[in-house]
Structure 1
Amino acid sequence: MNDNNEMDIFYSKLQTYIDSLDIKKRNKYTIKNDMCLDILSVLKEENNNVSAKFKFWAKQTFRLVKIGSTDFVYVKKHNLPLVTHEQIYYRVVDCHVAVGHSGRDKTWAEIKRLYAGIPHQAICIYINMCDTCQTRRSFPTPISGKPIVSLGFLTRLQVDLIDMRSVSYNNYNFIMHAKDHFTKFSWLYALPSKEAINVANNLRNIFYTFGPPKILQSDNGKEFVAKIILDLKLNWPDLIIINGRPRHPQSQGLVERSNAVVQHMIGKWLEKNKTSNWPDALGPVMLAINNSISQSTKKSPYEMVFGQTLRIDHDFWEEIQKQSKNSIIINEEEIDESIINEFNLFNEPLATKNSTCIDISSPISNLLSNESDTECADKSCQNTPHKRIREEAEICYLQTAERQLNNYNRALKKQKIYQINDIVGLKIANVDRSNMAPSILPCRVIQVLASEESLNTTYKVATLYGVISDSFSSSDFTDLSQTVSAELRQLDIKTLSSITFIQACQKLTHYKSNQVCKCVGTCDTNRCPCKKQSIKCCSKCHRGKCTLCQNYI
C-alpha cells in the first residue's frame, strides 16, 4: 500500500474520532487550511467576512511571524508554528521516525517540542497503524488457562527437560523432570543429552516401579516425539501419549512452572554446600519438593502417594544415642523398651479403634490371618488413612480446579470474537527470533471453527508465507486490526501452501536461515553442513548432544 492510501486511512480514522466529539468542539479540534487563511487575514488586518467573535479569538490565540517572504501562524501559548489539519499526517510521521519509532509518549514529546495544533489522538491513531511498532510491542498477558482435572495417582504424567548446558557437570547437560498431575509427585534424573533413548529409559524406570500412567504428556520436542518414545505403547498398549503444540508451554503449565522451582532449589543447594555438582543436588531437591505441602491439595506429594508422612524421626534416634551403652546400635534387642514405648515407630495407625480390620503393623497378625479374615478386612476397611488422605486431597484439588475454571470462563466471556479477514498477531518465541526482530507474527483470520461444547472458538490463520497448520484460540492473539498490513489484507490465500507456526516465525524474522548440523563428531570436515557453508556451529546444532565440535562460535 502506498503512502497516499495510508494517509487516507489515517484521515478517515481521525475524522471518525472528530465526528464523535461534541458539536461545539469539532470545528476547532484541528485547524483546516480555510480557517488558517482566515486567521492569517485577521492577523494581517485585511478585510474579510468573519465575525467579530472569530477575530477576537484569532488575535488572542495566534500571532503572525514573518520568515523571509513567507508568513507563518504561531500559537501564542506555546510559541510554536501552527500545523493545519492537512499537514498533521506528515508532521506525525516525521516526528515518529525522528524518535526511532519509540512509541506514543516520546513521539508526543517530540511533537510538543516542535509544533502546535496536533491533537494527542492523532499520534495514537498513527502508532496503532504503524506495522513496524505493532509487530514489536509487548504481548498482552494471556488469560488464566483452562484447568486440567486428573483424579488419581498417575492418571496424567507430565514430562519436560531442563537445559543445564551452561553449567554442565561430568558430561551431564539436562534434567528430566516428570510430575504427576494429581499428587504433584516429582521425579528428577540427570541426562547427558536430549537423546530419546535416555528419556525412554528413565520413563521405563518410573513405569516399572510405580506403574504406567494413563496419559503421558510432554511438549513437541524431538526427544518426546521420537519412535523410541512411541514404542512405549508396545509394552503398555493403553498408554495415551499427548504432545503439546510447538512453542506453547501453557499446554503443560504444571511441569513448566515446577521447572523454575527445581532450578531455584538446585541453586540454593549448590550455594549452601559450596559446590557445582548439580547432579548430586537432584536427590535432596526431589525429596524436598515431594515433602512440601501442595497449595492445591493441602497435602504433601509423598503423603498422597505412600499414605504416610516422611520418616524423619530425628528425636527418636537422638534419644537412642543418649541411652544406649554403645555408640552404634547393632541389634534390635539393645534398644531400651522404654524408648520404644515412648516413641511409637508407627506415627499413624492404619486402622481406627472401632475398625474390625487386623492391625497390619503387626507382622504376626498378617501371617496368621486366613483368607476369610482378609475378605472381612476388605469389606469392612473402607476408610483407611491412605484413602482418607487421598479423599481430602481430592476435595481440595477439585475446589482449586473449580476456581481456575470460573476465572477461565469469566475471562473467556471478555475475549474478542474475531471475524474472517481480521488482522491478528501471534507471539513469536525468543528462540525463533533475534533481539532486533519482530516479536509478533501478523496473521489474517481465514476460518472460524466454532465449538458447540464450550465458549472457546478456534481460528485458522494465514501469513504472508503460508497457511499455518495449527488452529488457535482468541487468547493466543493480540488485536492488530488497527494496523495497515496492506500485503496481508490483499493476500490471495488460494495460492498459499500449508506451513508450521515455527516456520512462519522464522521466515518473518529471517532467523536461523542456515540449516543447522546434526553432527556427532568434531565438525572439522566438509561433511558438516555448517563447515561446508563456511559458517560456525551454533547452539541449535548437534541436537543438544555433548560433542567435540571444533567449529563453534
Structure 2
Amino acid sequence: MADYTKFLDDLYNNPESPAAFSGIDRLWYEARKVLKHIPRKAVQHYLEGHRTYTLMRPKRIHFKRSKTVAAGFMTDVQVDLADFQQLSRHNKGNRYLLLGIDVLSKRVFGVPVKSKKTEEMIEAFKNLISQMPMKPQRIFSDKGTEFKNKQMKEFFENEGIEKHEPTHSIVKASVAERAIRNVKQRLYRNFAQKKTLNWIDVLEKILEGINKAKSRIHGMRPIDVNFDNAQEVWKRIYGDIFSSNKNKIKPKLKKDDFVRMSV
C-alpha cells in the first residue's frame, strides 16, 4: 500500500480544510478529490495511527428527536452557547461560544462571548447576525435565562426577528447542539495537534472548514446553499416526509393468521 501520510497530514491538520480533524468518511471523501483511487483502508489506517483522532474519538449515543423542519433558507436559525470557561485565560477572557446554525443549509456561525450578561449577549447576537447572508425570520434557543429576558426580547423585536423557546426544559436546540459537538470536536483535536488551548484565533478557520464540507443531510456544501436553490435543498431534506407516495410499511400479519398469545 502506498504511503499517503504527508498528503493526509496536509488535509487533516489544516483547520481551514473541510476534512480538518474529522472522521474517516469525511477525510476519505476530501482525499478522493485529489487522489481518486485512494482506498478507504488507507485513510482508516492513517487515522488509527493518529494520536489526536484516537484520543478524541466520540462515544456515539443516539436519542430519538423530533425532526426540525425549516421553512426556507435562513428562515429558521437555532442558537446555543458552548462552554469554554476552563480555557478563558488562554482566550482573552472569552468563556463561551455563541453558535448559530441555519436549519436548512446547515451553515454555522460563531462569536466568542466573555459572559452571559445581557449587554454581552446582545452585542454577540449583533455580531452573529452580521455574519449571516440575510437576517433570519426566527431564532430558536433553549430556555436559558441568557436567551430569555426583557432586554433580549426587546432586542429581537427591534430586529424584526421572532424568538422562540421550547415549552419544556428537557427540549433543547438539538440542531445547534449537534453543531457545537462538531465544532468542539475539531477544536479539541486542533488543541491536541498544535499543543495550544487557544480557540478564538482558530475559530473562524474551523467554521469555514465546516461550511466548506459536504453535508450528509442534503449532499451539498453549506456555503453553496442560497436563496435560489433553497427549494431544491428543501425537497431533498423533507420531500419524503410530506410525500403522499411514501411506501407504506407492509403488515407482518394478514387477516385470519394464527398467532400465539401470552396470558
Using structure 2 for the length normalisation, give the TM-score. 0.62
Q: Secondary structure at the match of 2:71?
A: coil
Q: Secondary structure at the match of 1:189?
A: strand
Work out whether 1:167 is the aligned partner of 2:87: yes
C-alpha separation in 1, matches of 2:213 and 2:118: 31
Partner of 2:173: 252
Q: Secondary structure at the match of 2:74?
A: coil
Contact 1:172 1:193 in 2 (8 A): yes
Pick the aligned partner of 1:207 from 129, 134, 138. 129
C-alpha separation in 2, matches of 1:281 and 1:142: 29
- Greater relative CO, 1 or 2 (CA 8 Å, sep 6+): 2
Contact 1:174 1:190 in 2 (8 A): yes
C-alpha separation in 2, matches of 1:147 and 1:292: 22
Work out whether 1:278 is the aligned partner of 2:199: yes
C-alpha separation in 1, matches of 2:73 and 2:126: 17
Residues 124-135 of structure 1: pairs in structure 2 closer than 5 A = none
Partner of 1:225: 148
Partner of 2:186: 265
Contact 1:214 1:240 in 2 (8 A): yes
Distance 1:171 1:208, change over 3 A: closer
Partner of 1:194: 116
Q: What amino acid is aligned across from residue 211 of structure 2 in structure 1?
A: N
C-alpha separation in 1, matches of 2:101 and 2:80: 9
Residues 306-325 of structure 1: pairs in structure 2 closer than 5 A = none
C-alpha separation in 2, matches of 1:294 and 1:279: 24
TM-superposed CA distance for 1:142, in Å, is: 8.8
Partner of 1:397: 237
C-alpha separation in 1, matches of 2:242 and 2:128: 30
C-alpha separation in 2, matches of 1:297 and 1:265: 21
Deviations 1:163-190 (A, max 9, x none): 1112222211111111111111111111
Q: Secondary structure at the match of 1:190?
A: strand
Distance 1:402 1:167, change over 3 A: farther
Distance 1:233 1:190, change over 3 A: closer
Considering only aligned residues, what root-mean-square deviation do their CA atoms show, in Å?
Answer: 2.6
Contact 2:111 2:128 in 1 (8 A): no
C-alpha separation in 2, matches of 1:298 and 1:402: 19
Distance 1:160 1:273, change over 3 A: same
TM-superposed CA distance for 1:244, in Å, is: 2.2
Contact 1:161 1:176 in 2 (8 A): yes
Partner of 2:73: 153
C-alpha separation in 2, matches of 1:302 and 1:142: 27
Partner of 2:209: 288
Q: Secondary structure at the match of 1:241?
A: strand
C-alpha separation in 2, matches of 1:157 and 1:266: 22
Contact 1:296 1:400 in 2 (8 A): no
Distance 1:207 1:257, change over 3 A: closer
C-alpha separation in 1, matches of 2:140 and 2:224: 24
Unpaired runs of 5+ residues, structure 1, are 1-140, 306-385, 411-553
Would you tell me which structure has more helix in proportion to its own residues?
A: 1
Distance 1:142 1:173, change over 3 A: closer
Number of corresponding residues? 182
Unpaired runs of 5+ residues, structure 2, are 1-60, 250-263
TM-superposed CA distance for 1:206, in Å, is: 3.7
TM-superposed CA distance for 1:208, in Å, is: 4.6
Q: What amino acid is aligned across from residue 227 of structure 1 in structure 2?
A: K
C-alpha separation in 1, matches of 2:240 and 2:214: 14
Contact 1:199 1:223 in 2 (8 A): yes
Q: Secondary structure at the match of 1:254?
A: helix
Distance 1:234 1:257, change over 3 A: closer
Deviations 1:55-106 (A, max 9, x none): xxxxxxxxxxxxxxxxxxxxxxxxxxxxxxxxxxxxxxxxxxxxxxxxxxxx
Distance 1:400 1:187, change over 3 A: farther
Contact 1:219 1:245 in 2 (8 A): no
C-alpha separation in 2, matches of 1:276 and 1:143: 31
Residues 463-542 of structure 1: pairs in structure 2 closer than 5 A = none
Distance 1:203 1:158, change over 3 A: same
TM-superposed CA distance for 1:152, in Å, is: 1.6
Pick the aligned partner of 1:184 from 82, 96, 106. 106
Contact 1:270 1:281 in 2 (8 A): no
Q: What amino acid is aligned across from residue 231 of structure 1 in structure 2?
A: E
